[in-house]
């Protein structure tokens, strides 16, 4: 890991082993391509490598467990063998999570917060690994169909508090749980911005906050940029997120996010680790 990164924040590099991801259009469906991408992200400073075999973009079709495993296991095995970063499995299926943990993954990222497979909580507890519980309104196929809230921040906070209590009740140590407000998962542009603006209210839950804004469509709505041109907008949300209390950032572009957050963290804390001799 590059010096200075882990102490102030963590970077979760995205590896979509899918044919229909909104962000990379199946560029890493081939296992070798996905492994190569994971190694690049680790070299750029990723602390976590989040491997997913089922797209969760709006309107995405479901994938059965067998196909999901076929996609992700060779990638997980190779990246675990490298040992350069903790491997995360991005899944809501018990069977997939169990096989990934058997292969050496050390983190479970569940966009359903253990609602799709409640038994996942006991598995996480038994394996003593970290997990992330995310808020999503509905499911990927329907989540962007007119999402409504009375107060999006209060409702997301209440949901995450309830899921946190469930996970702890199933034996997951609280210190191994992070929470994610689910930017873009059943939210309008206004909802996403409100969550970012009031992220500090979610910090009151007492658990590390994960945000995943990378290349998302609300950034395109604001900037007019195509998905391939949203990296600067993503960096802006990472900086805002850090200033509001987020500490894990799920991104496609690790190196620029790392640089933006290193400078932000150094400015806020007054501490940094020199990584070059440049002046």
Segment 86-122, tens digit of pLDDT:
999 999 999 999 999 999 999 999 999 999 999 999 9
**In angstroms, rounded to a whole number, what is the distance separating the alpha carbons of residues 79 and 50?**
11
In a domain, 127, yes or no: yes
In a domain, 278, yes or no: no
pLDDT of 269 over the 70 cut? yes
Contact indicator for 114, 167 with CB cutoff of 8 Å:
yes
Give the C-alpha distances (Å, rounded to integers) separating 16 from 1, 56, 94, 273.
22, 10, 19, 31
Query: Mean pLDDT, to the nearest integer, of 32-48?
Result: 96
pLDDT of 20 over the 60 cut? no
**In angstroms, rounded to a whole number, what is the distance separating the alpha carbons of residues 163 and 114?**
8
CATH of the domain at 111: 3.20.20.20
Give the pLDDT confidence score for residue 26 in this predicted structure. 61
In a domain, 1, yes or no: no
In a domain, 275, yes or no: no
pLDDT of 24 over the 60 cut? no
In a domain, 39, yes or no: yes
Q: Verify whether residue 215 is a known catalytic residue.
A: no
Query: Mean pLDDT, to the nearest integer, of 64-72?
Result: 96
pLDDT of 193 over the 90 cut? yes
Catalytic residue among 157, 187, 250, 258: 250
Give the pLDDT confidence score for residue 27 in this predicted structure. 67
In a domain, 4, yes or no: no
Give the pLDDT confidence score for residue 202 in this predicted structure. 98
The pTM of this model reads 0.92
In a domain, 279, yes or no: no
Give the pLDDT confidence score for residue 3 in this predicted structure. 31
Query: Mean pLDDT, to the nearest integer, of 4-8?
Result: 48
Catalytic residue among 57, 216, 230, 244: 216
DSSP bridge pairs for 109: 90, 132
Tell me the residue ranges of DSSP E strands in the chain.
10-16, 48-52, 86-90, 107-110, 130-134, 177-180, 210-211, 248-251
In which domain, by residue range, is 236 found?
9-269
Query: Mean pLDDT, to the nearest integer, of 143-152?
Result: 83
In a domain, 13, yes or no: yes
Q: Verify whether residue 187 is a known catalytic residue.
A: no
The tally of domains found in the chain comes to 1
């Amino acid at each position: 890991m590059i010096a200075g990164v882990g102490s102030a924040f963590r970077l979760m590099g995205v590896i979509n082993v899918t044919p229909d991801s909104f962000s990379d259009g199946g560029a890493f469906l081939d296992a070798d391509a996905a492994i190569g991408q994971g190694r690049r992200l680790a070299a750029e400073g990723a602390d976590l490598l989040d491997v997913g075999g089922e797209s969760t973009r709006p309107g995405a079709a479901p994938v059965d467990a067998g196909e999901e495993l076929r996609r992700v296991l060779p990638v997980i095995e190779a990246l675990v063998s490298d040992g350069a970063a903790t491997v995360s499995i991005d899944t809501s299926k018990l069977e997939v999570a169990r096989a990934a943990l058997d292969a050496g993954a050390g983190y479970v990222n569940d966009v359903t917060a253990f609602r799709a497979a409640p038994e996942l909580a006991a598995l996480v507890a038994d394996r003593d690994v970290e997990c992330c519980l995310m808020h999503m309104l509905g499911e990927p196929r329907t989540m962007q169909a007119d999402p409504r809230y009375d107060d999006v921040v209060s409702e997301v906070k209440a949901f995450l508090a309830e899921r946190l209590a469930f996970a702890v009740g199933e034996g997951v140590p609280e210190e191994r749980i992070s929470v994610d407000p689910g930017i873009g998962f059943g939210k309008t542009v206004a909802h996403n911005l409100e969550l970012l603006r009031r992220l500090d209210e979610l910090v009151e839950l007492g658990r590390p906050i994960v945000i995943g804004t990378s290349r998302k469509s609300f950034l395109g709505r604001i900037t007019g940029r195509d998905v391939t041109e949203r990296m600067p907008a993503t960096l802006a949300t990472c900086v805002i997120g850090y200033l509001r209390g987020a500490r894990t950032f799920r991104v496609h572009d690790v190196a620029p996010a790392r640089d933006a957050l290193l400078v932000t963290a150094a400015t806020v804390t007054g501490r940094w680790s020199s990584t070059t001799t440049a002046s």
